[in-house]
Amino acid sequence: MEFELTQEQQMIYQYGSQLAKTYDRKYWMEKAENREFTHEMWDQMGKDGFLGMMVDTQYGGAGLGMMELALLMEGMSNEGIPLLMLVAGPTMSLAPISSHGTEEQKQKYLPACCAGTKQFCFAITEADAGSNSMKITTMAKSNGEGYKLSGSKTFISGADVADYALVVARTTAFKDVDKKTDGFTLFVVDMKAKGVEIQPIDMSFVMPEVQHSVFFDEVELGPENVIGEVGKGFNILFDCLNPERVILAAMCVGLGRYALDKAVDYASEREVFNGPIGAYQGIQHPLADAKTKIELASLLMRKAAWGIDQGFTEGGDANMAKYAAAEAGIEAVDAALQAHGGNGFTKEYGIFDMYPFMRVFRTAPLNREVILSYIGSHVMGLPKSY
């Protein structure tokens, strides 16, 4: 594994800093507070060729890998722009269509999504199933020629701005399968199709990507809506899980760095007793501790990204990276908040705003406890807890 980034990777990493000159943290916060998607920034990224990082060049993508997609996210988040739709779209939807879609599906969805003119959200979570995706009940019933999709999903980020959803549904009910991972199928659903309804969820913190409940009432789908093999959707989903962990780890380490940079600036200037507060060990050590953990998580994230690009399928590094990055990010924001004193809680300084956003990633998309169980049993060989 090379630690040095290639010139192209450095360029992708630095793109975030350049983008943040036009679409900066203030822009992101204004959008978040208005619950409005960052359309202008997304369009710009499409024009600049950064939305199809893992899509083949013949379909309008950059033909690169997980490392480049992660570096893009890390670079942007370093500047305070944690673009969550990079997870739902390019990571969770475009990548599977790219690797498992038919030629027709690739032609239909990929060029427009890479250009930013069309967008995907990703829908797996259901209220009654929660972290146990095996128990989802959204069902696509076959009528011989096509399917009728019924059920509901929750917490779907960006369902309001998405043209399509990549929906994980059952084509065989849980009770009728031999293996619990059988019977899942992935469908592309047009968000304007008859029978699709969305309802925003009133979240208690803000981000530009609004979470929605999505309802499907006998939505008619054809074989052309199926991605990959019917009943084998979980295999495709497995391919997306490590990339999802990695991209979120990249986001958490980047935003953590952004918080620490702000804390360093503030603590180097602010004087309370003798000299700047950044010299007080009570301020300096938590920041240094968080910085160390952020850089460790970044390294593990890049190792996991590299592994995905090598074709490794084990989830150890990706899960550990996501866990480490979310915890390090939360710690970094908390240390930055403490360093800012009362100012940390003001809109002007913009530190507290980062806290609830970062805290989400201890819970979603996979909570800390399930990840630790995975590491315990799959990486360390301990007995399984569930």
Ligand X SMILES: Cc1cc2nc3c(=O)[nH]c(=O)nc-3n(C[C@H](O)[C@H](O)[C@H](O)COP(=O)(O)OP(=O)(O)OC[C@H]3O[C@@H](n4cnc5c(N)ncnc54)[C@H](O)[C@@H]3O)c2cc1C
Cβ proximity to ligand X: between 205 and 345 the closer is 205
**According to CB under 6 A, which one of 93, 125, 225, 242 is a site residue for ligand X?**
125
Q: How far apart are CA 48 and CA 43, in angstroms?
A: 9
Q: With CB under 6 A as the contact rule, which of the stretches 116-124, 140-148, 230-238, 287-295 interacts with ligand X?
A: 116-124
Residue with Cβ nearer ligand X (166 or 267)? 166
281: left (phi over 0), alpha (psi -120 to 50) or beta: alpha
Asked if 374 interacts with ligand X (CB under 6 A), we say no
C-beta atoms surrounding 245 within 10 Å:
28
Query: What are the CA-CA distances from residue 26 to residues 22, 54, 253, 265, 341 (Å)?
Result: 10, 29, 20, 17, 21
Q: How many residues does the chain have?
A: 386
Residues between 314 and 373 with contacts to ligand X, criterion CB under 6 A:
360, 363-365, 367, 369-370, 373
Contact mark string toward ligand X, 60..99, x via CB under 6 A = ----------------------------x-----------
**How many CB atoms lie under 10 A from the CB of residue 144?**
5
48 belongs to the binding site for ligand X (CB under 6 A): no
Shortest distance, position 82 Cβ to ligand X, whole Å: 11
Q: Which two tokens stand for residue 207?
A: 């981000």
Question: What is the rounded distance in angstroms from the CA atom of residue 255 to the CA atom of residue 332?
Answer: 9
Quote the CA–CA distance of 316 and 243 in Å, as a whole number. 12
Residue spans of alpha helices (H) in 85-124: 85-86, 95-100, 103-115
Can residue 131 be called a binding residue for ligand X (CB under 6 A)? Answer: yes
Using the contact rule CB under 6 A, the part of the chain among 53-61, 120-128, 137-145, 247-255 near ligand X is 120-128
CA distances from 200 to 35, 191, 229 (A): 10, 14, 32
Give the C-alpha separation, 361 to 248, whole Å.
8
Least separation in angstroms between residue 125's CB and ligand X is: 3
DSSP code per residue over 35-76: T---HHHHHHHHHHT-S-TTS-GGGTS----HHHHHHHHHHH
251 lies in the site for ligand X, by CB under 6 A: no
What single DSSP character describes residue 376?
I
Pick the binder of ligand X from 178, 274, 384, 386 (CB under 6 A): 386
Rule CB under 6 A: say whether 32 interacts with ligand X: no
**Cis link prior to 365 (omega < 30° from 0)?**
yes
The residue with its CB nearest to ligand X is 130
Q: Are 119 and 76 in contact (CB under 8 A)?
A: no
Angle between helices 66-78 and 233-269 in degrees, nearest 10: 30
The token pair at 37 is 């998607």
Q: Shortest Cβ distance from residue 342 to ligand X (Å)?
A: 28
Q: Smaller CB distance to ligand X: residue 299 or 360?
A: 360
Residue of 91, 157, 213, 298 interacting with ligand X (CB under 6 A): 157
The CB-of-326 to ligand X minimum distance in angstroms stands at 12
> Three-class SS of residue 226?
strand
Residue of 155, 187, 258, 266 that binds ligand X (CB under 6 A): 155
Which CB, 58 or 363, lies closer to ligand X?
363
Nearest to 210 by CA among 247, 162, 243: 162
CB of 123 or CB of 283, closer to ligand X? 123
Q: Tell which positions 201-220 bind ligand X, by CB under 6 A.
A: 211
Q: Which of 18, 130, 314, 345 binds ligand X (CB under 6 A)?
A: 130
Among the residue ranges 33-41, 54-62, 150-158, 320-328, the one whose residues contact ligand X (CB under 6 A): 150-158
| Among 69, 156, 301, 351, interactor with ligand X by CB under 6 A | 156
Count of residues binding ligand X (CB under 6 A)?
21
Which residues of the chain form contacts with ligand X (CB under 6 A)?
88, 121-125, 130-131, 155-157, 211, 360, 363-365, 367, 369-370, 373, 386
